[in-house]
A and B are shown apart, each in its own frame.
Chain A
Amino acid sequence: MALTIGAAALLLLVGIVSFAEAATIGVLFVAGLMTGASRTPRDVMVKAAAPPGQIGKVFGFVSSGMSLDGAIMPVPYCMIIDAG
């Protein structure tokens, strides 16, 4: 959770502060590191929450949440860009 919030904070920082190009890439890289570092604890927690013999449906369900944002996010995000 802390890693996810940290990554979000760094992404916000890129939006608010005007960094040099190299610094922008560096901050984004660290944000990527923090996001990636949050993935395994998340998966282990999901595994711990799955009752015996139910791992397929549990991971299928939560993974569909991940795919869902890939389907719905690009359009509103691009609308924000269009709005300036």
Chain B
Amino acid sequence: MLRSLTISRDTRVNLLLGPGHFLSRFHHLCLLPLFIAWQQAFDVSFAELGLVMAVMSATAVLLQTPLGFFVDRYGARPFLVGGTLLMTLSMAAVGFATTYWQVVVLALLSGVGNSVFHPPDYAILSGSIDATRLGRSFAFHTFIGNVGFGVAPPATAALMLLLGWRGALIFIGFLGLPEAAAIVWQSRILIDQARRSQSRAPKDQRGAGLLLSRSLLMFFAFFMVSSMAGAGIQSGLITTLHQVHGVTLQPPRRRWPGTWWGRSVACWSAVGWPTAPIATCRLSWLSRSAPPRSCFSSA
């Protein structure tokens, strides 16, 4: 009986990393409901408040690639724990801010912490999860992140009603402490990606040469272009539907998170089961039938 209740190592790894990704996404969009309170508290315009989110996004753009280099060199776990703590404590500290510029600086620090999640998470998932189940694991990781996006605005709004904006931020910030503690406590089950001596790797498979190869530039472009619609939907869908098609605005939150919930459900139900085995079969086939270099042959 007890044996049947045992959680597999793969599941434990997914459950350990998933909440961190959830919090990472949650921290991005939890700021939106706070704008109204901040406008009154700090006497600033919405454009100035938009700068807070822009600072967080810009930090992620600038730091994710350099952090990836550090993760490959020094291992993923220290960055994951440090990033979670920095992100979460910075967000909690915003709850004590007395000026607008303190909020901007703390948002920058939170953005630094937030930018560590993708490189270490994927490095650990790739090293810890069985290759035949890796697609499902990636699907769960994406799913739980999108849940964070979806629930952040309404959950933050509800917390603001209960605790006020300062109490809500302190509560949200401290949610990351158990996650960081759990990663440290269970770190023995987190296996980092297989290392390879940098000096032995061919020049086109390390450093900037790797990132500027044709295949990775194509991936970069695909990530960017395929996400543009999502960024546009986030910023303008409600306005567009209202002005062009006359869609009523009450209650507005029913509409735009619809696509995020769609993505979340799809990642787990549509992708996690029917297509993940196909994707992982392809991965297994690649790793079995060809040396690593040929996976990168288009470079």
A interface residue numbers (CB < 8 A to B):
4, 7-8, 11, 14-15, 18-19, 21, 24-25, 28-71, 73-74, 77-78, 80-81
CB distance from B210 to the nearest CB of A (A): 6
* A63 pairs with B118, CB closer than 8 A: yes
Q: Chain A residues near B231: list those with CB within 8 A.
A: 69-70, 73-74, 77
Q: Say yes or no: is B235 at the interface (Cβ < 8 Å to chain A).
A: yes
- Known contacts A48-B283, A49-B219, A57-B71, A69 near B227 by CB under 8 Å: yes
Q: Say yes or no: is B206 at the interface (Cβ < 8 Å to chain A).
A: yes
Q: Chain B residues near A30: list those with CB within 8 A.
A: 262
Q: Chain A residues near B211: list those with CB within 8 A.
A: 57-58, 61
* A37 pairs with B266, CB closer than 8 A: yes
- Known contacts A57-B71, A64-B60, A64-B64, A48 near B295 by CB under 8 Å: yes
* A33 pairs with B228, CB closer than 8 A: no
Q: Chain A residues near B234: list those with CB within 8 A.
A: 70, 74
Q: Chain B residues near A80: list those with CB within 8 A.
A: 236
* B271 pairs with A37, CB closer than 8 A: yes
- Known contacts A18-B245, A28-B262, A41-B279, A51 near B201 by CB under 8 Å: yes
B interface residue numbers (CB < 8 A to A):
54, 57-58, 60-62, 64-72, 76, 115, 118-123, 126, 134-135, 138-139, 142-143, 146, 193-196, 198, 201, 205-206, 210-211, 215-216, 219-237, 239-241, 243-245, 247-248, 254-255, 258-267, 270-272, 275-276, 278-280, 282-283, 286-287, 292-293, 295-296
Point out which of B245, B263, B278 has the most chain A C-beta atoms below 10 A from its C-beta. B263
CB distance from A25 to the nearest CB of B (A): 6
A72 to B122, CA, bound (A): 25
**B198 nearest CB neighbor, chain A only:** A53
* B232 pairs with A77, CB closer than 8 A: yes
* B292 pairs with A70, CB closer than 8 A: no
Q: Chain A residues near B210: list those with CB within 8 A.
A: 51, 54, 57-58
CB distance from B241 to the nearest CB of A (A): 7
Helix, strand, loop or mixed for chain B's interface?
Answer: helix
* A21 pairs with B223, CB closer than 8 A: no
Q: Chain B residues near A37: list those with CB within 8 A.
A: 266-267, 270-271, 275
* A77 pairs with B65, CB closer than 8 A: no
A2 to B57, CA, bound (A): 29
* A21 pairs with B247, CB closer than 8 A: yes
- Known contacts A32-B262, A40-B272, A41-B271, A49 near B68 by CB under 8 Å: no
* A66 pairs with B223, CB closer than 8 A: yes
**A44 nearest CB neighbor, chain B only:** B279
> Please, could you name 17 A-B residue pairs with CB atoms under 8 Å apart, sorted by A?
A7-B229, A35-B262, A48-B283, A48-B287, A49-B295, A56-B119, A57-B119, A57-B211, A58-B210, A58-B211, A60-B65, A60-B67, A66-B223, A67-B60, A69-B224, A73-B228, A74-B235
A30 to B247, CA, bound (A): 18
